[in-house]
Chain A
């Protein structure tokens, strides 16, 4: 088990190197360091001298991947790619291209993202499980057929529709919550309600269908028939046996997305003007801030792989039959 975890953690390193190379290539095929400097200095009439100065300060005056002028090993190390990537592996994210400390930016912007992601996840899972249990309980009736059709209909509606209609009705017409924005502290609640609500509703269709299929699979097993044959009521079987056993795939499914909650949601955050990590990434892409994009992608892929590892471990914890080797 310990061996397995160590091996998986070591596997993270080549993946992260690959991710880094890909991000680097994608970014610098599109724009050269000169373009970045011009964009950041913010004017069309920037002199070459000030561009060179900007590049010098931020270390973009080196060649991209291969330095012909250096000798020996530093041919590869004295480049933008190497100098910018090494820091990431010890989680030294450095400063962004407009001079802010990325790590402290992320530390600040993490909280609004979490404030929306965590309630959405918890409420979403509870609501989904409730509805799917209801569908299972009324199996074979018209209610189930209507419920499944309703789920597919909910799935077929664009996520943008939920956001726009939510903002229009709840925010604008009924004036129950602010349309967008965010303040730190306890006052944030009134800004959070609408995004969380919309997050839950937009995930309802696919969520209920997914949990329903898990419950269906579980209730087709022999132990359920045995329990029924012994005279347990449908409700007892559902809650004491089916729900308990179906919790294994449900929990492991949640564990895999837990680390990614930090990253926030790109669309929700930019629609509601929430200063989280999702909007941070989008802003960085539009303002071509390579340092931020690179750090966010690095962080995202790191968390993704940690999520996969956590899932494997949680399988062994909840189901002793699974062994890792």
Chain B
């Protein structure tokens, strides 16, 4: 049985909306041309491919259903499709910290060593490298073997794909000659190899170690992808209608409408955003504490908080785009074609829709792309001041926040930080590079 959460549905609707917009713009020449430029740009294609992989993981993680278990447990787990794929990582839980690829736990415990003497030793892990009898000597060779097997298999799959493409293209490699396709195929090969390596290693090792309660860090990092994507994308959807409608109205109608809207965004942007977010999150917590019957599970509550965080971030972040659109509309409304439309008796709403909005869409496009990466990074900072997502939600901010407290330990527990920061880095870098490529393609000034 499917058990979607609010953010799941919103995320899916958003993706469908994105597909619809893509289909619409593929039919219009003036929108198709800049996108063609993006698809010809190596950096654009590579970053888009990486982003699509992230989105695919996020979508898999958004399909939730009730797990059918044979055991008569009191609570039924709701898991996502991604959880099914990651079953070995999800279920192989150790006792506490362990380093990446380690076969022993992080802390010493009372145990019996080889001679049968009771003393404090590093106990073997329950799952990590458990298939090896003599891990100290065999581990390196075993890891190498599994790595080769995983990447080798991926290479075979990729070659198979190439063979099929070769067949479809009348037995020629012409399709590889296009720069975009070539970059796409090679990025795909890279992604497949990483996936293959992880798939072959993770049933036997904790590739990025385990955290305080023994959960696989790689699993946490992968699960956090959905949170990052939801915050980056849903916030934009909340912000866009406000920014576009108010920005266009202020610039087009001038007079008292302009005054009121300018007053609104000056006031809102002069209040520190942190305060608004903190107040809203506190408010939500009070509301949830008073109405516990509305939120039956921890997941429901965490999901509501995530949704609320997106809405609040959206409300605080529309001012920049609004200001930009107002200035642009001020310029456009003096153009001859707007004057002509007005002289022919076209109503203001119709002028805004047909003549002004299409001409500011490139600004909207660029802002969406740039804001996304900023929001993913902001989530980590907000979680640090405890006004971000719910502590039970998987998110990179929460991973950083919990492992920050462990920095004083000797030796340092670094793998959680590394995992969270590198996943965040890859997603944000891809988004930034893609935004750059989109901006180059859509900015009319760079059309050379």
Give A residues with C-beta under 8 Å from B: 14-15, 18-19, 22-23, 26-27, 29-31, 152-153, 155-161, 164, 167-168, 172, 263, 266-267, 270, 281-282, 285, 293, 297, 300-301, 304-305, 308
Contact = CB atoms under 8 A, between A and B. Distances in A.
Contact of B279 (A26, A266, A282): A26
A301 B417 contact: no
Size band of the B side of the interface? Answer: 35 or more
Q: Which 9 A-B pairs have the closest CB atoms?
A: A301-B270, A26-B279, A156-B429, A18-B267, A156-B428, A304-B270, A30-B282, A30-B283, A161-B421
A34 B278 CA distance: 20
B272 A281 contact: yes
Contacts of B271: 19, 22-23, 297, 300-301
Given A26-B279, A297-B275, A160 B270 contact: no
A41 B380 CA distance: 33
B267 A152 contact: no
A156 B380 contact: no
A189 B429 CA distance: 35
Contact of A293 (B275, B407, B428): B275
A248 to B, nearest CB: 18
Judged by DSSP, the binding face of B is helix
B410 to A, nearest CB: 10
A269 to B, nearest CB: 12
A155 B417 contact: no
Interface in B248-295: 263, 266-272, 274-276, 278-280, 282-283, 286
B263 A18 contact: yes
Contacts of A23: 271, 275
Contacts, number: 100
A5 to B, nearest CB: 17
Contacts of B400: 158, 160, 164
A164 B384 CA distance: 12
Of B263, B278, B412, the most chain A CB neighbours within 10 A belong to B278
A304 B417 CA distance: 35
A305 B270 contact: yes
Given A164-B417, A282-B385, A297-B275, A157 B282 contact: no
B275 A285 contact: yes
A89 B240 CA distance: 35
A22 B267 contact: yes
A267 B421 contact: no
A18 B265 CA distance: 11
B429 A153 contact: yes
A14 B275 CA distance: 20
Contacts of A305: 266, 270
A159 B279 contact: no
Contacts of A30: 279, 282-283, 286
Nearest to B276: A26
B381 interface: yes
Contacts of B384: 160, 267
